[in-house]
Structures are given as structure tokens and as C-alpha cells.
Amino acid sequence: MSDVGWSFVKGHGTGNDFVVLPDPTGALELTPSVVAALCDRRTGIGADGVLRVVPTVLVPPMQLRAAADDAGIRDVEWFMDYRNADGTLAEMCGNGVRVFVAYLVAAGLVSAPGGLRVATRAGVRDVVVHDDGAVTVRMGPATFPGPERVEVQVRDGAPTWWPAVAVDVGNPHAVVFVDDLADPGPLRTAPTVRPLQAFPDGVNVEFARIVGPGHAAMRVHERGVGETQSCGTGACAVFAAARQRVGPDSPTTWTIDVPGGRLVVAAADDGELELTGPAVLVASGTVDASWLDAVRP
């Protein structure tokens, strides 16, 4: 039985929304069923994912995944424990990092404007909070891990196999360029991606259109979530794939329109990508203790 409820904050970055759970003592037990219940839009708080705010020193190495190999990760004070809406673990979330930092600032745990570092399962991310409230995250480099031939088919629309580009931005993406963002249909279910062995942990699928020089628009189906209003790592993946498609004359800064707003992605001189966008905290409250007991298995 739970003696007390859990404090939470609700926030979003260009419509990609999250339940933020402060956990300064590392005491919260986030099972997949609890995360899924919190994210349920009818019977829970409703969100695309959960961000647990926990001191990095309290995170077991096995929960850090690949980031455990990062020698400096234990020197970073706060760890972003991100879970998809279905309760699965995720390596990284560009919009989530911005909301995570907005919470740290609002709670007085860090000062702003200025720079700070956040630990994630994809490694350490450097973050800058600007005077206007916008947040820039250094997302690391984008890589093209292959295979060379990737194809995507949507399950709700025409049985077309679109060619895609596999991009890794700390988590896996398949980027499809289309003539019209309506072409994929409603994206109610996860697209089929082949070859299956290319993405053993699942994949985020972006459908993108190049609008003009340095300007693209996109939709995304996030693994473990569904179609979302925005995806920060997805915007970085679209940026990388679009620059590859355009060629050497491509601008180094692109505006990426998402259903929930607008993001900016730029390539730094060292090859890392920098994602800039808003982060909004909407509400705060307490998750009822008896409700938590009811949703645990």
C-alpha cells in the first residue's frame, strides 16, 4: 500500500507532452503498468511519456544502458529516466530534455539562463537555457548505421513500400521523404519497417517533406507511443537525412515544422547537432496513492 501519493508536473515541448516525476531519493518504483496508466489519456494524467527526475548517483548501472560506459555520466547531477507511454525504456528524447530542464529551473535545482548537463541513457547532453525560455540541447552527432536499403509501409493506408533512411541520434529512426504529409494516412498503428533485424529495439518513423532551402516539415510515429505532435530526436534525424538528400549546398541550420509547432536544428562545427525549441510547464499536482495501488500489477 502507498502511504502518500506522488508529486508530478505536466509539461510539453511543441506538443510532445510528459508527466514529470520528481524523485530526489530514488524511491519511486516505475513499473511499465504504472507508466502506461499515468500516460493514459482517458483514465490517467495523459502524456507521450514519463520523465523521472532522479540524482544520477542513485541510478543502478543496469538502468543506464549504453550510457553506463560514459566515464563522465556519474559526475552529472541529474539523470533523465525517460519511459515511453507503453512503459518501455527509451534512450533519449529531445523534447523531453527541454521539459526536464524547464522543471529543474522551475524547482530551483539549477540556475537559468545558462548552461548545464543532463545524464540520459544515450549519454550526457549539454543544455543551454536562453533568456526567452527557449532551450538548446546538444544532441550529439547523427549517424547513418545502415543498412543501405530500408523500407517502410504504413498499415492504415495504401500498401506502398517507401524507401527510408536509417538515422541514429542516440535512438533509432527511419526517415521517409514524401510529397505530401497526408500521404501516410492516420498512422494509428506502427508502420512496418524492413529489414526487421535493422531495428531490434523498434524504431521511430518520420515522414518528411522538404519545404524549401533549410526548411522541412514532418510527422512522426514514435515507438511505444504512436503518432505524436513532435519528436526532438526525430527532427534531428530529418535534419540529417534532408542535408544528405540536398547535398553539399545544404544549409547548416534548418527549421523543422512539426504538428505541435516549430523546432530549429543546427550542425555545430564539431559535427554535433543542436536542437532548439520551447519547453512549457502546464500544471502540477499529486497522483492519488490509492490510484497508484490500483494500477500496480
Active-site amino acid positions: 93, 231
Rounded CA separation 118/8 (Å): 19
φ/ψ of residue 187, rounded to 5: 55, 45
Strand partners, 117: 126
